[in-house]
Amino acid sequence: MLLSVLAASLEEVAATSSRRAKAEVVAGVLRAAASGGADEREVVVRYLEGELRQRRTGLGWRSLADPPSPATEPVLEVLDVDTAMASAAVQSGTGADGRRRRLLQDVLAAATAPEQRLVAGLVSGELRQGAQRGVLVEGLALAAGVPAAAVRRALTLSGDVAEVAATALGAADPDAARSALAAVALRLGRPVSPMLAASAPSLAAALERTGTALVEWKLDGVRVQVHRDEQGVRVWTRTLEEVTARLPEVVAAVAALPARTLVLDGEVLALRRRGPDDEGTEASTGDAGGGSEVGTEAGTGAGAAPWRARRPAPFQQTSSRVATRRPGDPGGPAAAGADGTGSPDPLQLVLFDVLHRDGEDLLDAPQLRRREVLLDLAPDLAVPGVAGSAEDPAAAAALSAAALALGHEGVVVKAAQAPYAAGRRGAAWVKVKPRLTLDLVVLAVEHGSGRRRGTLSNLWLGARDPHGRFGPEGGFVMLGKTFKGLTDTMLAWQTERLRALAVADEGGVVRVRPELVVEIALDGVQTSPRYPAGLALRFARVLAHRPDKPAAEADVVEELERLHAAAAGPA
């Protein structure tokens, strides 16, 4: 298939806002690709959802500066691009960047203007055509003549778009496609798309949405899916990247469970080192839930699971461990102990779901049934949980209070009868986290892009620094940015207001007089290597503009330091 065919189609997709119309165009391309080879079809499928086939190429937005002038005639094949990217991906050592960029430049030089836009979008990961996996699924369904739900189901169970596309498009007719898709099942060694959670502002609101529920701690860690079969144990992240070699403690913990085959869902996190100061904490949280456990008496007590009484370490510590490659990892160090730093602190595995045990798939089993299986299988690794409902929320409230007192994020409320809805952010799981608010001052603002082009969007936020600890006396210290929470009306208002306050436009960043106060919601304050106070906002979003409030009444940096210290818990 010529790249120009794909490029023209994607321009068409970008030009309409109708989801249906986008899917129709996608379906047309898929039908055309069906006559080509399997390799080409896979590349077309990936490009339709806006991604290269290579997970890492070493090329990004920076490599796209100074593109050559576009070609006038379309000559490139879709596979030409894939070949170049595959070649870029395997470059290493001295001169690798140069060789990668030359490969990209050569492709761009042979591409017409629309083709250049497509390639640039794929390389930068920002195609922004209003079509990603969701639209691709609908297009696949149209092309194969099957319901979108059939494709979606197969995709969440296989986790592999190309494989599902081959299954759907390779069938002789719609009936055959339908049964081929229906035959896709959970398979050991192939991760499923993890179930995601919606969020609610309060426990009551969450219980209102779920009805009778299982309420569990929400931990601030990294999501893991663990499979165990006769070959051993393997571990994947939320985006289905395999991290088995990095998490030997997870492998060991699951290998020790009394089962032959397993698929588990959970979280890994770093815990604070235990010191003498923690003894009291542990004793006081012996019953971490305060309510009756679902399915067992001992589920929430520390008992054989001392981790339940330990405070979590900052997320950065967990992140660091999960991101560090180890022997056995692709690209990891060749041998153990070469750096002489010894073993890092182990991560704790905490489980909250079981999707398969010893030949039995549990995806469609009710939440409470899966909880029973989990508590039977791994009582010491199970996250604390209790039953809850809008009518009787006391136990759930106590569990939430206990989680927060220990320094965890909050709770997840799970509809008691819901199946494991792989890949969906449905209403069956609802997370509830406390929200902090601060009044901060806008120090600068960035020009918006995409649908925010022409507006002043991303706010640079600062707190008052009245003692001049991080700058001139009586000034402000920057703590982070946010573009979230703004309605179009708010966006228009702040654009006008900030233009009036502008003092300089420094290439994309408009400096303003520090006069506009904004009410900001955030999940917490974290240490920062980036900002002068050594602190940054976590998940900041705008709640409201406060033109009525003078900047002199905004929060001070010492308040953030207090919040940061409080998160670490009692000394």
Partner DNA sequence: TTCCGACAGTGGGGTCGCAAT
Partner DNA sequence: ATTGCGACCCCACTATCGGAA
Residues annotated catalytic, as ranges: 218
Binding segment for DNA (CB under 7 A), chosen from 2-10, 178-186, 377-385, 538-546, is 538-546
Nearest approach in angstroms of CB 177 to DNA is 19
Q: Distance between CA 279 and CA 264 in Å, rounded?
A: 31
| Contact status: 325 vs DNA (CB under 7 A) | yes
| Contact status: 199 vs DNA (CB under 7 A) | yes
Which residue's CB is nearer to DNA, number 111 or number 520?
520
- Phi, psi for 521 (deg, rounded to 5): -100, 145
Binding segment for DNA (CB under 7 A), chosen from 31-39, 107-115, 323-331, 556-564, is 323-331
The residue within the footprint of DNA, chosen from 458, 464, 516, 554 (CB under 7 A), is 458
Binding segment for DNA (CB under 7 A), chosen from 3-11, 35-43, 449-457, 563-571, is 449-457
Q: How far is CA 541 from the centre of its chain?
A: 17
Nearest approach in angstroms of CB 19 to DNA is 4
Positions in 2-61 near DNA (CB under 7 A): 17-21, 50, 55-61
Which residue's CB is nearer to DNA, number 107 or number 127?
127
Which residue's CB is nearer to DNA, number 37 or number 95?
95
Nearest approach in angstroms of CB 15 to DNA is 12
Which residue's CB is nearer to DNA, number 425 or number 469?
425
Which residue's CB is nearer to DNA, number 362 or number 537?
537
Q: Which stretch of DSSP H or E encloses residue 226?
A: strand 222-229
| Contact status: 497 vs DNA (CB under 7 A) | no
| Contact status: 153 vs DNA (CB under 7 A) | no
Burial class (CB in 10 A: 0-12, 13-18, 19+), 11: middle
Q: Distance between CA 314 and CA 171 in Å, rounded?
A: 50
Nearest approach in angstroms of CB 275 to DNA is 22
Positions in 249-308 near DNA (CB under 7 A): none
Two tokens, residue 93: 């050592």
Tell me which long-range contacts 149-156 makes (C-beta under 8 A, separation of at least 24). Answer: 150/178, 150/181, 150/182, 151/181, 152/423, 153/181, 153/182, 153/184, 154/181, 154/182, 154/184, 155/193, 155/423, 156/192, 156/193, 156/422, 156/423, 156/424
Which residue's CB is nearer to DNA, number 160 or number 282?
160
# binding residues, DNA (CB under 7 A): 90
Positions in 347-366 near DNA (CB under 7 A): none
Binding segment for DNA (CB under 7 A), chosen from 172-180, 384-392, 399-407, 441-449, is 441-449
Q: Distance between CA 520 and CA 539 in Å, rounded?
A: 10
Positions in 173-192 near DNA (CB under 7 A): none
Instruction: Give every CB contact of residue 76 below 8 A, 6+ residues apart in sequence.
Output: 2, 3, 4, 107, 110, 111, 115
Nearest approach in angstroms of CB 91 to DNA is 7
Two tokens, residue 482: 């946010």
| Contact status: 332 vs DNA (CB under 7 A) | yes
Cα dist from 120 to 7, 57, 86, 236, whole Å: 11, 13, 16, 29
> Which residue from 320, 366, 523 is spatially nearest to 437, judged by alpha carbons?
523
Positions in 223-242 near DNA (CB under 7 A): 223, 237-239, 241
Instruction: Report the SS3 class of residue 84.
Output: helix
Nearest approach in angstroms of CB 135 to DNA is 4
Instruction: Report the SS3 class of residue 349.
Output: strand
Instruction: Report the SS3 class of residue 51.
Output: coil
x/- letters, 104..143, toward DNA (CB under 7 A): ---------------------xxxxxxxxxxxxx------
* β-pair type (198-200, 429-432): parallel
* Contact present, 216 and 392 (Cβ < 8 Å): no
Q: Distance between CA 421 and CA 438 in Å, rounded?
A: 36
Nearest approach in angstroms of CB 485 to DNA is 4
Cα dist from 382 to 247, 301, 308, 353, 549, whole Å: 18, 11, 10, 8, 47
Nearest approach in angstroms of CB 532 to DNA is 11
Q: Distance between CA 61 and CA 86 in Å, rounded?
A: 18
Cα dist from 460 to 295, 358, 482, 498, whole Å: 49, 53, 7, 12
> Which residue from 306, 294, 238 is spatially nearest to 266, judged by alpha carbons?
238
Which residue's CB is nearer to DNA, number 124 or number 261?
124
| Contact status: 324 vs DNA (CB under 7 A) | yes
Positions in 370-429 near DNA (CB under 7 A): 424-427
Nearest approach in angstroms of CB 283 to DNA is 30
Q: Distance between CA 484 and CA 542 in Å, rounded?
A: 6
Nearest approach in angstroms of CB 280 to DNA is 29
* Contact present, 424 and 395 (Cβ < 8 Å): no
Cα dist from 259 to 48, 373, 506, whole Å: 41, 11, 61
The residue within the footprint of DNA, chosen from 539, 549, 559, 561 (CB under 7 A), is 539
Type of residue at 372: E
The residue within the footprint of DNA, chosen from 467, 469, 484, 562 (CB under 7 A), is 484
| Contact status: 451 vs DNA (CB under 7 A) | yes
Type of residue at 239: T
Which residue's CB is nearer to DNA, number 296 or number 389?
389
Binding segment for DNA (CB under 7 A), chosen from 2-10, 92-100, 161-169, 180-188, is 92-100
| Contact status: 170 vs DNA (CB under 7 A) | no
The residue within the footprint of DNA, chosen from 146, 195, 302, 537 (CB under 7 A), is 537
| Contact status: 160 vs DNA (CB under 7 A) | no
| Contact status: 559 vs DNA (CB under 7 A) | no
| Contact status: 499 vs DNA (CB under 7 A) | no
Which residue's CB is nearer to DNA, number 158 or number 281?
158
